[in-house]
Amino acid sequence: MDLLAILSAVFTPASLMWILIGALAGIVVGVIPGLTATVAIALLVPMTLDLDPLHSMLMLTGIFAGSMYSNSITSITLRTPGNPSGAVTIIDGYPLALKGQAGRAIGLAAYASAVGGVFSVLVLWLFSPMLASVALRFSPVEYFAVGILGLTTAVAISGGSRARALTAVTFGLVVGVIGTDPLTNLPRFTFGQSELRLGVPFLAAIIGVFAMAEVLRLAGVPGRKTRVVSSIGRVMPTRPDMRRTLRPVLRGSVLGTIVGILPGGGGSMASYLAYGDAKRKSKHPEEFGKGSIEGVAAPDAANSGMTGGAMVPLLTLGIPGDATTAVMLGALIIQGINPGPRLFESSGSDLVYPLFAGMLLANVAMVIMGLALAKPLASVALLPRTVLLPAIATLSFTGAFIATGQTYLLWITLIFGVIGYLMVRYDYPVAALALGLILGPILESNLRRGLMLNNDDPTVFLTRPISAGILGLAVLLLALSLFSTWRAKRRAAQQSSIPA
């Protein structure tokens, strides 16, 4: 690893420009409800075909990092998260804004996001080369185990009902078998419709459940009378505030990075976990929900920490751990780059390590721009819906259509928009559905391959050490999740049995 070569690849005018463009674009889409980082990246992927692979990835990771910060701005000022990951920030961010401290909350969110983002990129830089060298020996058996770990993560730490998360994941897996058999290339479950041989292309479905669904939802919500916070005040975080939130920010960064590394984790999960953790560890738990600065900082550090973590399985295994990295995988494949353990050997010095350095810079750029633009950004979400919704709907259809130009994809986007809308309405986790769609084909083909390579012996998944270890981790996660629910219930029962 030659540091000089890495730096010279990043410190070119073009690279720096794409980092800035990405971070800025991320900050802007982060405050627009319905335009998540996933959708923004999906829209841009076809346009990155002519870019240098490094520049394309610098821009896309910049969008990822930038949007994880700015989604908190509107949570704080309008009680409306720019995307689902920012929802947790409302709990303490909005009360702070009502007290006239919106700027203080936004400043802390920016500081926490930067710490989380930088920390996770450092972990990515240190950890992924090691994982890649181990992964060189991975066979389909191990890949199947990683896929199972992803599904388990999605169900275990969904933050809501486990049964609903399981239902959503399973639905995604079932949809994934429609189309063409991945091993024989023959049609299946197509009911004689030649268009169905495409199956349900991931990009169109994701845009549907994330963006179209949001358009449908917002169209049906009567204009809520939220007290709009117009006075933001000073955004530069103060020293005492930074000192007081340092511990929750660091813990949130670690948690978020771990959730990101686990395939199946996502920004929402990371921020829920970090919020709960900060409340448990805080010296002032009674302030939470009434405007605690720790309650703003911890989840923001976590969902930014997730961004670097999520790049670990993407780059080292070629397995996307969430919807955003799944779309990035498409961007890499378009460039003729196959992420996986050999990527570090073949394009380490001209893509992977410069990308890491660029992601660090993107986080720095994000803080500076984020603080400078906080005030104008807070009003972006105030765009009248008559402008916002048609624009997002149009963009969604364009994004679905542009990849292959088939009208069939527009139907997929629309149908999945309705499905996503119903899921949100009845409180089913959409991210879990996306994960089922992503991991389904990976699981199926590697299960079948693993069996073919080992004379159809199913015990091989438990006798190969790495595979057994990964599956063990999956079981452990599930057990932990069940245990914490049980403990919470017992506590609640004990408290209610105390005579008042």
Partner 1 sequence: MHGFTDLSAARRTGHRAVVLLAAGSLLTLAACSEDAEDYPTGSLEMMIPWTAGGGSDLSSRLFASHLEDHLGVSITPANEPGANGSLGWGSLAQDSNDGYNIGLLTYDVLSNEVLDPQAPAIEDFDILGQYEEQALFFYVRSDSEYESAEDLEGSSLMIGTSGMGGIDHQAPAELEGELGVEWQYTPFDGHADGLTNLLGGNIDAFVFTPNIAAEYVESGDLRILGTFAEERVEEYPDVPTFAELGYEVAPIASFRGIAAPAGLDEDVRATLVEAIAATAEDEEYLEAAEQAGNTPFYRSGEDFEAYMNDLRPVIEGLLTDMGLAEN
Q: Which residues bind partner 1 (CB under 8 A)?
A: 49, 136-140, 179-180, 182-187, 194, 197-198, 333-338, 340-342, 404-406, 445, 449, 452-453
Nearer Cβ to partner 1, position 455 or 494?
455
Residue whose CB is less far from partner 1, 196 or 478: 196
Which residue carries 């459940």 as its tokens? 209
Smallest distance from partner 1 to CB 333, Å: 6
The total number of residues shown for the chain amounts to 500
Q: Judge whether 34 and 215 are in contact, CB under 8 Å.
A: yes
Residue whose pair of structure tokens reads 């409180």 in the numeric block: 427
* Cβ nearer to partner 1, comparing 181 with 287: 181
Shortest Å distance, C-beta 124 to partner 1: 21
- For partner 1, the closer of residues 182 and 285 by Cβ is 182
Least Å from the CB of residue 337 to partner 1:
8
Distances (CA, A) of 339 to 179, 318, 335, 344, 448: 25, 5, 11, 9, 22
The rounded distance, in Å, linking the Cα atoms of 440 and 177 is 8
3-state secondary structure the chain: CCHHHHHHHHCCHHHHHHHHHHHHHHHHHHCCCCCCHHHHHHHHHHHHCCCCHHHHHHHHHHHHHHHHHHHHHHHHHHCCCCCHHHHHHHHHHHHHHHCCCHHHHHHHHHHHHHHHHHHHHHHHHHHHHHHHHHHCCCCHHHHHHHHHHHHHHHHHCCCCCHHHHHHHHHHHHHHCCCEECCCCCCEECCCCCHHHHHCCCHHHHHHHHHHHHHHHHHHHCCCCCCCCCCCCCCCCCCHHHHHHHHHHHHHHHHHHHHHHHCCCCCHHHHHHHHHHHHHHHCCCHHHCCCCCHHHHHHHHHHHHHHHHHHHHHHHHHCCCCCHHHHHHHHHHHHCCCCCCCCHHHHCHHHHHHHHHHHHHHHHHHHHHHHHHHHHHHHCHHHCCHHHHHHHHHHHHHHHHHHCCCCHHHHHHHHHHHHHHHHHHHCCCCHHHHHHHHHHHHHHHHHHHHHHHHCCCCCCHHHHCHHHHHHHHHHHHHHHHHHHHHHHHHHHHHHHHHCCC
